[in-house]
Structure 1
C-alpha cells in the first residue's frame, strides 16, 4: 500500500517514517545518559523542511514511557506570532508543557506543589493567564519574574526527584529556537539565566532544534566559545536525503511514480533531497506514466505555487524594500555594497532588512556575500518573472 506523507505533516506514522536510523540512534543514546545523572544539552540544526520536527517527535514518542518528556514549539507561542515574544511568555509556554506532561503521567502530586508555591510566595501580579489548564501568575517586577522562572525551570528536576521510581529523567525539546532572536538585546541575558538554572540539574536533558544552518549567528550566542552553553552543548546537524535514499524511498513508498533515470535526476535537482519538497512534489506528480526530464521539469513549474505556498505567504508579508533585496539576488550572490548599488541606496540602509531576511531564513551570508537560502523561493520568483515580465511585489 502506498503511504507517502505530505511535506506539511509534522507527525508521521511508523509506516510513513523512513530512514534517519543513525540520527535517531545517536540522539537517543545521548539523551539516555540522563538516566545516569549526566544529562546532555543538544543542539539540532538543519535547513527548513529537512525533517527535524518529525524526527524529534518520533524520538519523544519512543522515550516518553521511560522519561517525562516535554515538547515546545517557540514559533507557536502567541507572543511570537504577535511579534511580542517575552521571557515570561516563554516561561508560560515551558510551564504549560511540563504540566501537560505531568498530567499524561498522572503525577498529580506536582499540582499540589505548584499550588503551595503560588500561595506561599508573595508576588506582585500583573495578570493571571491560563497555561495548559493551569493558572499561571504573571509577575509585575523583575525580581518576581526571576523567582517564578527558577520555579518553572526547576520543575522537571523536582518531578524526577519525586518520581524517580517511575521515570529515568526529564527531557525538554525546544523546537524552532531561532524564534529567540525576537528577544533582541535581551537574548544574551535570557540564555545565560537559562544556563545558570539548568546547569545544576542532574536528571534533565535539553534539546534545542531550529530551522537554521550551522553558520547562523544565534549558534554562536548559544554554543560558541563565548556563548551561554559554549563547551557544554553537543551539536547534531540533520542533512537532506542523498540521491540513493530518495530513490529507494520513492520506490518503496510510491511505486506508482514512474520516474525514468533522467526524470529522477531532474526530480532530485528540484527538491535537493529535502524531505518536505520530496514528499510534496512526489504527491503532486502524475502517477503511472513515464516521467522523463522534460516532463518532470514541466510538472515542477505547474505545481510550484503549491510546493512553495509557505514561502509565498512569507514573501507576501515582506516590505517592498525587503522584496527588492531578494530580487537583486536572483541571478547571483552579492555583497552588501553591490546590493546597494543595484537598488541605488546606501549600503548602511540595508543593515536592518538584511538582518530580518536572515532571521526569516530567506537569505544567508558567508564572508560578506549574500545569497537566497531557499532555492524553491528563487525558482518561484523566476517563474513569475518569466511568465508575467515582473516580480509579484503586490497581490490582490
Structure 2
C-alpha cells in the first residue's frame, strides 16, 4: 500500500510522516526544559518546502496531552493578507489562535480568572465582544496597542498558571515568521518589544519558524549578537533529506516506483532532497515501469508545471525588472554591476529589487555574486524559453 503525501500537505498522518527523528528529539528535549523554569526561545529555520510546518505540527500533536500547545500561522493574519501588516494585526491574530485552541481543550472552563485578568488591564476600548464566553477586546485607537499586546502576550503564562495541575507548560508555535519583514522599519522595535514581554515568562516555550536560512538577514535581527533575542534564541535549521533517506523513503512509501541506479540519481538531482519536491514528483511519476535516467528526465519535463505551480504564481507577481534579474542569473552567478550592465540600469537602483528577491527566497548572495536559489523555477524558465523562444515576462 502506498502512503506518500502530496508536497502541499501541511499535516501528515503518522503513517505518512517519515524521519526527522533527530530534529524531533532535539526540539522535544528543549521544549520539555520549559517545565523546569525559564526556557530558551527556538527558531526553526529552513528553505521553503523543507517540511518545517509538518515537523511543528507533528511535535504539537505529540505534546498535546502534557502541554497547552497552540500553532499560529502569521501568514493567515488578515492584515498580512490585505497587504498591510501591522503590529496590532499580528497581536489580534495571536489572540484569535490562542483562544480558539483554548476553547477546544478538555479543561476549558468558565475562564473566571482569565476574565478577571482581562478586566484589570484597564483597556480603553469601544466594546468587548463575547466570543463563546471569551472576552474579546476591540481597540478603539492605536493607543491601545501596548495594553492589548501586553494582555495577549501574557496569556500563555496565565493559561499555564490557571491549569498547572493538568499541564507541564505552554508551547506556542509561531510559523511563517518571515512575513514580519513586511513591518519594514518597525521590525526591530516589534522584535525588541516581543522579547521584553516574553523573556520573564516561566514554563512557556516559544518556537518560531519560517522559510529562512541561517544566512537570512532577519535571523541576525532576531538571534544575532546584536539582535533582539541574541543569547537567548537557539536556531535549529532543518536540512533537505540525504540521498539515502530519500531512497529508503520511496522504497517504503511508494514501492511501485521502479528506479534503476541512474534513474534514482536523476530523481534526487531533480528534487535536491527537498520533501515538497520529493513528494510531489513521486506522486506524479508513472508507476510500474522502469525509471532510468532518460525516463526520469522525460517525466520531469512532463510534470514541471505542477512542480513549479507555486513558483509560477510568485513569478507572475514580480515586476518586470525583478523578472529580468532572474533571467540574467539563468546563465550563472553574477555580481550586481554585471546585472545592472546587462539590463541597462544603474547599480544603485538594484538595491530594492535584489533585497526583495532575496526576501522571497528566489535568489541568494554568495561570495558577492547572486544566484538563483530555486532550481525548479530555473528549470521551468529554461523550458519556457526553449519551447517559446521568449521568457514569460507577461501573462494573460
TM over 0.5, shorter chain: yes
Change (3 A) 1:130 1:229: farther
Contact 2:115 2:134 in 1 (8 A): no
Instruction: Spell out the pairing of 1:216-235 with structure 2 (5 A cutoff).
Output: 216-235=216-235
- Once the two structures are TM-superposed, the CA of residue 123 in structure 1 deviates from its matched residue by 3.6
Query: Alpha carbon RMSD of aligned pairs, Å?
Result: 1.8
Between the aligned partners of 1:389 and 1:131, the Cα distance in structure 2 is 57
Aligned to 2:190: 190
Between the aligned partners of 1:373 and 1:392, the Cα distance in structure 2 is 19
Aligned to 2:38: 38
Aligned to 2:369: 369
- Once the two structures are TM-superposed, the CA of residue 389 in structure 1 deviates from its matched residue by 0.5
Change (3 A) 1:198 1:82: same
Aligned to 1:264: 264
Deviates more, 1:71-80 or 1:108-117: 108-117
Between the aligned partners of 2:131 and 2:377, the Cα distance in structure 1 is 37
Change (3 A) 1:110 1:181: farther
TM-score of the superposition, structure 2-length normalised?
A: 0.96
- Once the two structures are TM-superposed, the CA of residue 128 in structure 1 deviates from its matched residue by 7.1
- Once the two structures are TM-superposed, the CA of residue 328 in structure 1 deviates from its matched residue by 0.8
Aligned to 1:9: 9
Q: Secondary structure at the match of 2:171?
A: strand
Change (3 A) 1:285 1:383: same
Aligned to 1:353: 353
Aligned to 1:311: 311
Aligned to 2:343: 343
Contact 2:44 2:208 in 1 (8 A): yes
Structure 2 segments unaligned to the other structure (5+ residues): none
Between the aligned partners of 1:188 and 1:133, the Cα distance in structure 2 is 36
Structure 1 segments unaligned to the other structure (5+ residues): none
Between the aligned partners of 1:26 and 1:211, the Cα distance in structure 2 is 20
TM-score of the superposition, structure 1-length normalised?
A: 0.96
Aligned to 1:79: 79
Between the aligned partners of 2:238 and 2:305, the Cα distance in structure 1 is 26
Change (3 A) 1:130 1:50: farther
Change (3 A) 1:114 1:165: closer
Change (3 A) 1:25 1:118: closer
Between the aligned partners of 2:384 and 2:130, the Cα distance in structure 1 is 45
- Once the two structures are TM-superposed, the CA of residue 107 in structure 1 deviates from its matched residue by 4.1
Contact 1:96 1:131 in 2 (8 A): no
Aligned to 2:181: 181
Contact 2:118 2:135 in 1 (8 A): no
Change (3 A) 1:386 1:173: same
Contact 1:45 1:213 in 2 (8 A): yes
Aligned to 1:324: 324
Between the aligned partners of 2:374 and 2:132, the Cα distance in structure 1 is 35
Contact 1:361 1:373 in 2 (8 A): yes
Between the aligned partners of 1:132 and 1:12, the Cα distance in structure 2 is 30
Between the aligned partners of 1:278 and 1:390, the Cα distance in structure 2 is 29
Contact 1:40 1:234 in 2 (8 A): yes
Q: Secondary structure at the match of 1:334?
A: coil
Deviations 1:351-382 (A, max 9, x none): 11111111111111134321111111011001
Change (3 A) 1:352 1:128: farther
Deviations 1:251-271 (A, max 9, x none): 111110011100000000000
Q: Secondary structure at the match of 2:104?
A: helix
Change (3 A) 1:113 1:133: closer
Contact 1:92 1:136 in 2 (8 A): no
Between the aligned partners of 2:68 and 2:205, the Cα distance in structure 1 is 10
Number of paired residues? Answer: 396
Does 2:274 correspond to 1:239?
A: no
- Once the two structures are TM-superposed, the CA of residue 148 in structure 1 deviates from its matched residue by 1.2
Deviations 1:271-322 (A, max 9, x none): 0000100010011111100011011001101100001101001011111111
Contact 1:74 1:90 in 2 (8 A): yes
